[in-house]
Amino acid sequence: MTSPTVDASQDRTGLIYLQLMFVMATWGLNIVSIKYLTQHMDIRALAALRIAVAFVAVTLIVKARRGRIPRLGRQELGWVALAGFLVVYAHQTALVYGLQFSSAANGTLLMATSPLLSALLAALFYRERLTWLRIAGALLGLTGVAMVVVGSGARLGLTGWGDAIVFLAVAVFVFGGLVIQRISRTLDPLAMLWYMYLAGGLMLIVHAAMTPSSYDADNWSMTWWPWLVLLFSAVIASGVSNILWNAGIARLGISRAALFVNWLPIFGLLFAALFLDEHVTWVHVAGLACILSGTWLGLRRGAPASR
């Protein structure tokens, strides 16, 4: 007979799975949203404004649940500042800049490499043994990335460089996930995200303030629809979904949580076709097949982890 404790643990894990699926759906739509918003706003102003609004939303959630922001020690502040730099400042800057030149479809496919990168980096930092399956998975995944990057005309023009910058955004996001996993041992996901957005948001605001194009009046004279898209991107995709993502990492670890990113390109390609009228070509399908196959190989347990 199963004990109540085991049942409760399974229920919590099942809830985390559902939450992570919701995160993937909102993130897939968010890539489409950011691509759309880059056509209406300066990218530095867009990145800063999204995180500033997300920070306000997270603050309201923290106040509603706890009533106060917990204080951190000096060491915890250092780790949170590093996570804020990687996940908020570097990731958001690279993602918004890359999507200005790349397509939403390419962006979602490149995001699908994060499970494989997460597994490889977790093996590196947590001393898990790298098997031939993981090496083969890495090569297959990189082949898929290359197909996506050079798929449009097989040349590196603006679209190719945009894809490369999106891939950089994925890499810094994965490194940030490793930092989140470390600090989640002593800090709950909600407080962690609040401090991350505080640190990374300040970096983005300073960056935007030093950029003359951020003061262009056209950035702030949009119609109501782009503002509504921006609110979704900031509050739901960047605020609520990142709280759920951090909770998933804390519960499952970065390698297991990253498995759900396999669903991101499926949602992203669907939303890109629906809302941006982007065409899904055989290059996208072949690249997606390579990336998902490489991820499947890379995450298989071909040998026990070394201790």
Q: Is residue 57 included in any domain, yes or no?
A: yes
Q: What is the pLDDT of residues 267-294, one digit of tens each?
A: 877 787 788 777 777 777 787 788 777 7
CA distance 36 to 50: 14
Q: Is residue 6 included in any domain, yes or no?
A: no
Mean pLDDT for 234-259 is: 82
Find, among 208, 1, 198, 162, the residue nearest to 81 by Cα.
198
Rg (CA), the chain: 19
Q: Is residue 70 included in any domain, yes or no?
A: yes
Whether the CB-CB separation of 160 and 146 falls below 8 Å is answered with no
Tell me which residue range forms the domain holding 82.
17-212+222-299
Exposure letters 276-288 (e unless 16+ CB within 10 A, then b): bebeeeebbeebb
Q: Is residue 304 included in any domain, yes or no?
A: no
Q: How far from the centroid of its chain's Cα atoms is residue 123's Cα? A: 20
Who has greater pLDDT, 30 or 257? 30
Find, among 137, 112, 104, the residue nearest to 265 by Cα.
112
Mean pLDDT for 89-94 is: 90
The pLDDT of residue 304 is 41
Top-ranked range on mean pLDDT: pick from 1-10, 189-198, 279-288: 189-198
Alpha helices in 155-188 (DSSP H): 158-183
Q: What is the pLDDT of residues 150-171, one digit of tens each?
A: 554 434 444 568 888 888 998 8
Q: Is residue 1 included in any domain, yes or no?
A: no
Q: What is the pTM of this model?
A: 0.74
Q: Is residue 31 included in any domain, yes or no?
A: yes
When divided into structural domains, the chain yields a total of 1
Q: Is residue 306 included in any domain, yes or no?
A: no
Q: Is residue 178 included in any domain, yes or no?
A: yes
